[in-house]
């Protein structure tokens, strides 16, 4: 048994790893500035209910008996807990280093990619769970099939030999993982330049001990096929691949498609989710789970929190949706899925950081311009500021100026109350309101507030 201290334990990735380690019999404690600010009380109460001791982030919880002091990529050196840990010469590790060690104690399945990895991780975990494998799953989002798991729903704690993780590339930490099976859902511009991403993912595929699952529809991803001797590819666009989804048909409660003459029903919408399902099926094939069991499991997959999640339908017939889409690829996937169904879209988007927005500005603008109809409306909030010393040299107003040239209905509205007022006057029966963005945990609260205001 080891004693771990998680600095920033409230983050989705940090909390899921902390709970997984707690379930293995370790002593877990931690701190979070959001807790000190009185935010997300239910989440922190859940962690305490699971036997995790929480402290104020002022150095008071850090002592020499700590075996591993865990920091996330969002933690600064000036935080009192970090300074105290260094003063006491406590062993400091990043979350990714601790996660890699945990993964390597199992038959590891690591799901990477700039889009779709959280959902694919949830799908693989659900398939393994329903097939009786009893896996550990450490995810970056709440898995709706297991929303009560360890109180937070972002972790499944099994006793089997397999562990499925969401492998993050945004901070380069994916280079630490040596999985049995590596999955790459896509490679597109996000936090890092494309050339850097291709190197990271190429090395990741090469290190996979059993094999790799690659998206044939993404040129930069399928270009990695020679990096591993055992590759399964998948396609939803009719490209030559080992797994090809045919006859993709949107239905009221999801999507249907055929695979190798078998019909598959997926109770979540969008062609991008069909691609995620193919990646999960290929992964299950690679570790020997019968295809019939895999297809049966997917038919009961409920999805991931904030991935096109319906908050509710108002009495006026307006559907309010909460969605994680934030980069160009995710925005395009969300809009494409929604365009399979009738009704105007009211999009409420918040960019998720100044540096990413600066990198992705042209792509974000292009995605909205290409997929918005002339009767859709986009309302953009100011860029989310997570703290720190980041340079605020771009604004959402800059993106709106770019989009105004396209003739689409776009507005820069930093005030959420004004957005709600506008939506109350504009949204009508059959329309859909979509709150979009990442990192800011209050976005889900905002989506709920919109729903309640319109109800």
Residues 258 and 115 in one domain: yes
Whether 249 and 396 share a structural domain: no
Asked whether residue 37 falls in the same domain as residue 67, the answer is yes
Q: Determine what percent of the chain is predicted with pLDDT higher than 90.
A: 87
Residues 217 and 266 in one domain: yes
84 and 214 in a common domain: no
Domain that holds residue 409: 309-454
Residue 191 is predicted with a pLDDT of 61
Residue 75 pLDDT exceeds 80: no
pLDDT value for 212: 98
Q: Examine the domain organization and report whether 144 and 222 are in the same domain.
A: yes
The CA-atom distances, in angstroms, between 5 and each of 50, 57, 61, 66 are 15, 11, 8, 7
Strands 254-259 and 246-251: antiparallel
Mean pLDDT of the chain: 94
The number of distinct structural domains making up the chain is 3
pLDDT for the residue 188: 83
Q: Say which residue, 439 or 280, is predicted with more confidence.
A: 280
> Do 158 and 60 lie in a common domain?
no
409 within some domain: yes
pLDDT of residue 193: 77
Q: Do 123 and 63 have their domain in common?
A: no
Domain of 18, CATH number, reads 3.40.50.720
Strand order in the sheet with 262-266: 246-251, 254-259, 262-266
Same domain, 52 and 119: no
pLDDT score of 399: 96
Q: Are residues 166 and 190 in the same domain?
A: yes
Q: Are residues 194 and 336 in the same domain?
A: no
What per-residue confidence (pLDDT) applies to 74?
65
CATH of the domain at 217: 3.40.1190.10
- pLDDT for res 441: 85
Same structural domain, 113 and 11: no
| Alpha carbon 205 to chain centroid, angstroms | 20
Q: For residue 304, is it within any domain?
A: no
Instruction: Determine the 3-state secondary structure of 330 from DSSP.
Output: helix
Report the CATH number that the domain containing residue 436 is assigned in CATH: 3.90.190.20
Over range 23-41, report the average pLDDT: 95
Query: Alpha-carbon distance 173 to 221, whole Å?
Result: 18
pTM for the model stands at 0.88
């Amino acid at each position: 048994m080891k004693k771990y201290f998680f600095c920033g334990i409230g983050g989705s990735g940090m909390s899921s790893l902390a709970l997984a380690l707690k379930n293995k019999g370790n002593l877990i404690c931690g701190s979070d500035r959001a807790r000190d600010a009185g935010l997300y009380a239910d989440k922190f109460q859940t962690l305490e209910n699971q036997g995790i001791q929480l402290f104020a982030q002022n150095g008071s919880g850090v002592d020499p008996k700590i075996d591993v002091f865990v920091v996330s990529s969002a933690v600064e050196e000036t935080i009192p807990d970090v300074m105290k840990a260094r003063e006491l010469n406590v062993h400091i590790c990043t979350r990714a280093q601790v996660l890699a060690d945990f993964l390597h104690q199992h038959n590891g399945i690591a799901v990477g990619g700039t889009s779709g990895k959280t959902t694919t991780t949830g799908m693989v975990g659900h398939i393994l769970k329903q097939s009786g494998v009893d896996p550990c799953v450490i995810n970056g989002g709440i898995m709706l099939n297991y929303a009560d798991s360890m109180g937070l729903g972002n972790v499944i704690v099994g006793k089997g030999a397999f562990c499925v993780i969401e492998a993050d590339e945004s901070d380069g930490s994916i280079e630490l993982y040596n999985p049995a099976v590596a999955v790459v859902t896509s490679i597109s511009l996000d936090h890092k330049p494309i050339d850097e991403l291709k190197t990271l993912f190429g090395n990741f595929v090469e290190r996979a001990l059993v094999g790799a699952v690659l998206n044939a529809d993404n040129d930069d991803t399928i270009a990695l096929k020679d990096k591993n001797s055992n590759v399964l590819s998948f396609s939803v666009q009719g490209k030559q691949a080992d797994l090809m989804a045919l006859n993709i048909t949107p239905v009221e409660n999801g999507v249907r498609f055929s695979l190798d003459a078998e019909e598959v029903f997926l109770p979540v919408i969008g062609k991008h989710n069909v691609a995620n399902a193919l990646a999960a099926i290929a992964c299950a094939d690679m570790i020997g789970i019968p295809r019939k069991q895999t297809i049966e499991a997917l038919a009961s997959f409920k999805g991931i929190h904030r991935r096109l999640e319906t908050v509710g339908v108002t009495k006026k017939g307006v559907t309010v949706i909460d969605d994680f889409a934030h980069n160009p690829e995710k925005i395009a996937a969300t809009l494409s899925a929604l365009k399979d169904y009738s009704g105007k879209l009211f999009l409420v988007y918040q960019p998720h950081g100044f540096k990413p927005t600066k990198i992705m500005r042209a792509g974000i603008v292009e995605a909205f311009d290409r997929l918005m109809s002339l009767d859709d409306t986009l309302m953009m909030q100011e860029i989310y500021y997570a703290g720190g010393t980041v340079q605020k040299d771009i604004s959402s107003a800059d993106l709106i100026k770019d989009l105004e040239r396209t003739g689409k209905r776009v507005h820069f509205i930093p005030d959420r109350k004004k957005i709600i007022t506008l939506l109350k006057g504009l949204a009508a029966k059959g329309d859909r309101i979509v709150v979009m963005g990442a990192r800011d945990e209050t976005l889900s609260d905002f989506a709920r507030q919109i729903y309640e205001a319109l109800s």
